[in-house]
């Protein structure tokens, strides 16, 4: 198992995925799906909600979401649709209504620390006269309060605190709002599918859709299913697990072949380097990378006036899928990585990227099939990609790869890169671009802290993963040229690779 501390939310999610994978591989999902209720939620506990019936109501919705089916259809119908290979047009991220705890939405609260002081700075600072003294303590009239926060700043005792929903606090683009019943709602017009709200909710009330059953069905049908491993894969299972063991395990799951998305990263590096030289600064003062789908979606939805600064090159996932489909038109491509936003990106490239799984989901498939990663044979694995291609998984890796590629093409070109990690920092960087105060000419935007290794779809420790990826990239750098010759050939053969 990956080396990390897991919460009960993660344990329940992983257990459900494992049970579904186990039944799907055994061909027993339709028959035994109701048994999941007893395996995960029993009368004996543990209990997280008021009663076992509430627990099972939440689990029913979670099962439908895991099958990529609507929450409001019956479990039998959801299973039948998933086994038929259908993926409903459901959101990548959904709030499970039964699980949402309807967190309080009063943003500012006066605590018992209030001393009803003589100065009454809170009352004097309020522009709406929403604060008064009731029972020897300040009181905020919610009907007048506009949540400006001036009272909190004015209180010298720190007796007024700011409260926000965990899901709202986790969302850097304000896509989470409270409905009339106080249950969370995801505004799809603002959501960039980064998955941070799922990680932020301590009640497990936000879930991502999964195609784990649909992928297993393709494997059992004998289709040529290719696993496209994201560069972060070497760090997911911890330092004791070798890359060769991971590849062996994925093949044992029934995948026809395993390919490296880092090879697609080499192709993207070449394309973005060429694009940078062609357009910066002649057509635009700065170019941003396009490999992170949440970052690109953030710009498209929240900063449409800056869209022309985004690289037109496809992501490494899409580039890798194109190479596979060129060589094997009958291939079924499955991206495997730490990213939830890739599920949304894959929908834009239907026919190229057929399915997307997270490391968490593949881990569940391995456990569900009764396999033990520690017992996997290490057949040895050497990357066919460059060191910089493998470095895409870590923050700063993309920018450094493009800079190195630009230097190999035109040593006189000046590349001033800046890496923004975490959606909040990405927002600030793009704001600087918008107002013309951004000092670099190449922006790498990564929605997750640490880069892909910090994605919500991984169970591994980000710091450990970063070191393992870095070591693996260094090994690849000694074995392969910085600009992979095979990647150059495929880049030329595939021609334009615009998003």
Please answer whether residues 248 and 377 qualify as being in contact, where contact means their C-beta atoms are separated by less than 8 angstroms: yes
The fold of the 91-102+171-208 domain, in CATH, is Alpha-Beta Plaits (3.30.70)
| Radius of gyration of the chain from its Cα atoms, rounded to whole angstroms | 25
The per-residue pLDDT for 476 is 87
Residue spans of the domains in the chain: they are: 1-89, 91-102+171-208, 108-164, 223-494
Query: DSSP characters for 121-190?
Result: HHHHH-TT--EEEETTEEEE-TTT-----HHHHH-TT--EEE---HHHHH-TT--EEE-TTS-EEE-TTT
d(CA 30, CA 10): 25
pLDDT value at position 181? 85
Q: How far apart are CA 356 and CA 222, in angstroms?
A: 19
pLDDT tens for 353-407 read 999 999 999 999 999 999 999 999 998 899 999 999 999 999 999 999 999 999 9
Q: What's the pLDDT at 1? A: 43
pLDDT one digit per residue (tens) for the chain, 499 residues? 444 457 889 989 999 999 999 999 999 999 988 888 877 876 666 667 778 888 889 999 999 999 999 999 999 999 999 999 999 999 999 999 999 988 877 789 999 999 999 999 999 999 999 999 999 999 999 899 988 999 999 999 999 999 889 999 999 999 998 888 889 999 999 999 999 999 999 999 999 999 999 999 999 999 999 999 999 999 888 888 999 999 999 999 999 999 999 999 999 999 999 999 999 999 999 999 999 999 999 999 999 999 999 999 999 999 999 999 999 999 999 999 999 999 999 999 999 999 999 999 999 999 999 999 999 999 889 999 999 999 999 999 999 999 999 999 999 999 999 999 999 999 999 999 999 999 999 999 999 999 999 999 988 889 999 999 999 999 888 776 555 677 888 878 777 778 7
**Do 91-102+171-208 and 108-164 agree at the fold level?**
yes
pLDDT of residue 45: 64
Q: What's the N-to-C CA distance of the chain in angstroms?
A: 36
CATH entry 3.30.70.20 includes domain 108-164:
yes
Q: Which of 409, 410, 397, 419 is nearest to 491 (CA)?
A: 409
- Angstrom CA distances, 197 to 23, 183, 193, 333, 341, stand at 29, 14, 9, 28, 12
| Residue 441: CB atoms within 10 Å | 18
Asked, as a colleague might, if the bond just before 281 is cis with ω within 30 of 0, I would say yes
């Amino acid at each position: 198992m990956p080396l990390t501390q897991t919460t009960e939310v993660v344990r329940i999610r992983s257990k459900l995925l494992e049970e579904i994978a186990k039944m799907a591989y055994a061909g027993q999902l339709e028959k035994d799906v109701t048994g999941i209720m007893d395996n995960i939620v029993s009368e004996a506990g543990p209990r997280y909600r008021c009663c076992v019936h509430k627990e099972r109501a939440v689990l029913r919705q979670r099962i439908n979401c895991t099958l990529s089916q609507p929450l409001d259809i019956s479990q039998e119908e959801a299973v039948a649709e998933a086994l038929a290979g259908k993926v409903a047009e459901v959101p990548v991220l959904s709030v499970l209504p039964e699980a949402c705890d309807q967190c309080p939405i009063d943003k500012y609260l006066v605590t018992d620390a209030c001393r009803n002081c003589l100065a009454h700075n809170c009352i004097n600072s309020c522009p709406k006269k929403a604060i008064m003294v009731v029972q020897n303590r300040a009181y905020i009239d919610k009907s007048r309060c506009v949540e400006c926060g001036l009272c909190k700043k004015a209180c010298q005792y720190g007796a007024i605190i700011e409260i926000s929903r965990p899901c709202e606090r986790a969302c850097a683009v304000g896509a989470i709002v409270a409905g009339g019943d106080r249950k969370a709602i995801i505004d799809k017009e603002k959501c960039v599918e980064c998955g941070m709200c799922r990680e932020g909710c301590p009640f497990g009330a936000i879930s991502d859709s999964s195609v784990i059953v649909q992928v297993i069905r393709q494997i059992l049908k004998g289709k040529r299913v290719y696993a496209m491993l994201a560069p972060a894969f070497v760090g997911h299972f911890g330092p004791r697990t070798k890359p060769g063991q991971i590849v062996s395990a994925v093949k044992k799951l029934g995948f026809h072949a395993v390919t490296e998305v880092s090879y697609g990263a080499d192709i993207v590096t070449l394309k973005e380097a060429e694009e940078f030289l062609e357009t910066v600064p002649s057509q635009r003062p700065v170019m941003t990378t396009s490999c992170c789908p949440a970052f690109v979606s953030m710009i498209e939805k929240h900063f449409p006036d800056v869209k022309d600064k985004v690289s037109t090159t496809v992501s490494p996932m899409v580039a890798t899928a194109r190479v596979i489909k060129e060589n094997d038109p009958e291939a079924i491509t499955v991206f495997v990585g730490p990213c939830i936003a890739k599920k949304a990106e894959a929908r834009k490239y239907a026919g190229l990227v057929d399915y997307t799984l997270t490391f968490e989901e593949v881990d569940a498939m391995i456990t569900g099939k009764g396999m033990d990663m520690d017992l996997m044979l290490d057949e040895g694995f050497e990357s066919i990609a460059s060191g910089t291609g493998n470095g895409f998984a870590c923050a700063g890796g993309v920018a450094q790869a493009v800079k190195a590629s630009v230097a190999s093409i035109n040593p006189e070109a000046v590349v001033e890169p800046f890496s923004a990690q975490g959606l909040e920092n990405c927002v600030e960087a793009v704001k600087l671009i918008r107002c013309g105060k951004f000092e670099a000419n190449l922006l790498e935007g990564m929605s997750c802290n640490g880069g892909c290794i910090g994605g919500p779809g991984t169970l591994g420790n980000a710091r450990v993963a970063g070191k393992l990826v870095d070591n693996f990239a260094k090994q690849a750098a000694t074995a392969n040229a910085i600009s992979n010759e095979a990647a150059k050939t495929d880049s030329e053969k595939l021609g334009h690779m615009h998003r």
